[in-house]
Amino acid sequence: MRVLLVEDDEPVAESLRRGLKRYGFEVEWVTTGRAALNHTSPYDVVLLDLGLPDTDGLDVCKALRERGDVPIIVISARSDETDRVVGLEIGADDYVSKPFGVREVIARIRAVMRRAQPRTPAAGTPESGPDRYGPRLTVDRKAARVRLDGEEVALAPKEYDLLAFLTEEPGALMSREQIMEAVWDANWFGPTKTLDVHVSALRRKLAGAITIEAVRGVGFRLEIVKDGGGDKARGGGAVSTDSTAS
């Protein structure tokens, strides 16, 4: 599913982009209303911030609605009920107030897409399949499912989020701060010990397919275990099971 994200706050946009990517969304990010209105690539839903630097987001919402019926979800720090009402009246399908969690936004996206009429994918758009990591592990980001040797692995929501994030760049050293911000959102203020608990769970549930190395004082590095004597594959990322993927 393709998302047009219209947000000028870079930390918010980056956190949201990463979170959506973990669940299989394709995200096009623009920072101004003008860029949103000039965007020509096809998309399935719009996430629209109201506080844009060049124009009022409500005007952008109205203009986008006049062009078609693509679902629009307003995301804003504005708490005034008037803005909510006006946004919905001029064509927004939903309204999410900041701060918010990525999972809430995903739930809102799925809800508005269920309410929308079925849409035919753009011609020539390939359907991406699950990503394969080594010979044993596959991660289906669209369905948020993980399989080991063909059998589905029961992961808690945050265990899945953590795995999806770390497998974005196998072999890369991720700091604890990077992981906490990406997986538990930027506004997480709880103990980071929860990260160690989730890492231990992934090590146990996916033993033999991945290793997660703890680098003292820094963070964690996930590596993919190759077939044949437990060799590890550094980097390289996923090999898509879709024959059209590059």
Residue 121 placed within a domain: no
Core vs surface per residue 78-96: b (16+ CB within 10 A) or e: beeeebbebbeebbbbbbb
> Percent of the chain beyond pLDDT 70?
81
The DSSP letter of residue 207 is B
Q: pLDDT band for 128, please (50, 70, 90 cuts).
A: low
pLDDT, tens digit, for every residue of 190-246? 556 788 999 999 999 999 999 999 999 899 999 999 874 445 554 555 544 443 333
Which of 81-90, 109-118, 227-236 holds the top average pLDDT?
A: 81-90
> How many distinct structural domains can be found in the chain?
2
User: Global pTM?
Assistant: 0.55
- From the CB of residue 148, how many other CB atoms can be counted at a distance below 10 Å? 16
Same domain, 226 and 195: yes
> From start to end of 98-229, where are the E strands?
131-133, 137-140, 145-148, 151-152, 173-175, 210-215, 219-225
Compute how many other C-beta atoms are within 10 angstroms of the C-beta atom of residue 77: 12
Q: What is the pLDDT of residue 182?
A: 76
The domain of 201 spans 131-240
- Percent of the chain residues topping a pLDDT of 90: 42
- Whether 94 and 156 map to the same domain: the answer is no
212 located within any domain? yes
Domain stop point among 115, 144, 174: 115
Judge if 149 and 102 occupy the same domain.
Answer: no
